[in-house]
Amino acid sequence: GVAGGSPLLDAFLTAFQIPNLLRNLFGEGALSTAFIPRYAQLKSQDPATAERFAGLVLGRLTLMLSLVALALLAACCLLLAWGDLSSRIVMVAALAAPMVPFLVFICVTALVGGMLNVRRHFWISAACPVLLNLCMISTIWLSPEQEIRVAPYAVLGAGMLMTALSFLGLARTGGIPPLSLGSTAAYRDFRN
């Protein structure tokens, strides 16, 4: 590409690690490891309880990640407002800011992917990384002179598409669980 081994490319790769680190922690880490077996167990015993449980976990995860995203976005804005525009950290902040909401989308998509797997619906989870690659490739192909500056928007767009596709999969395989911030006995057991 045009960027080659430039500082701008290095800044983008660093900025892209922020949502990926959080995805590893929340979307594919301990939460998914604990959530999926519990959801599968509840699904086999009482599907309605399983869906309420899933809605609680999804609702609370989305709220928590949205708060984390707002804090990260505020930090990026502060760095951009008062930082030295030629410094690497400000360059990373400029490229990270559009990708911050991606962390919400990717973590929710990972959790929904686990639900889809329990429902024996596997292709959407496999297709989501392909969507990210297609968005990145098409963005670079359409605007090669600005590839790194527009790449964060491709990442954000891919996150939206992955989440939409995942929820479409839920809707077609038994319904979207009712999102909630309340609590149930199953959720309290899971939390403990």
Task: Give helix 7-22 / helix 102-118 axis angle, nearest 10°.
Answer: 50
Q: What are 146-167's pLDDT values in tens digits?
A: 778 888 999 999 999 999 999 9
For range 41-66, the mean pLDDT: 94
DSSP character at residue 30: H
Q: Would you say residue 27 has pLDDT above 80? A: no
Does residue 12 contact residue 95 with C-beta atoms inside 8 Å? yes
Handedness of CA 75, 81, 84, 86 (dihedral sign): positive
Q: Find the farthest-apart pair of alpha carbons in the chain and give their distance in angstroms, rounded.
A: 58
**Tokens representing residue 73 in the block:** 């976005």
Chain-wide mean pLDDT for the chain?
88
33 compared with 172, residue with greater pLDDT: 172
Q: Band of the pLDDT at 132, cuts 50, 70, 90?
A: very high
Predicted pLDDT at 165: 96
| Pick from 9-23, 69-83, 97-111: least confident | 9-23
CA distance 28 to 57: 14
Nearest of 102, 161, 104 to residue 130 by alpha carbon:
161
Q: Band of the pLDDT at 184, cuts 50, 70, 90?
A: confident
164 residue type, one letter: A
Q: What are 85-128's pLDDT values in tens digits?
A: 778 889 899 999 999 999 999 999 999 999 999 999 999 999 99
Q: Band of the pLDDT at 1, cuts 50, 70, 90?
A: very low
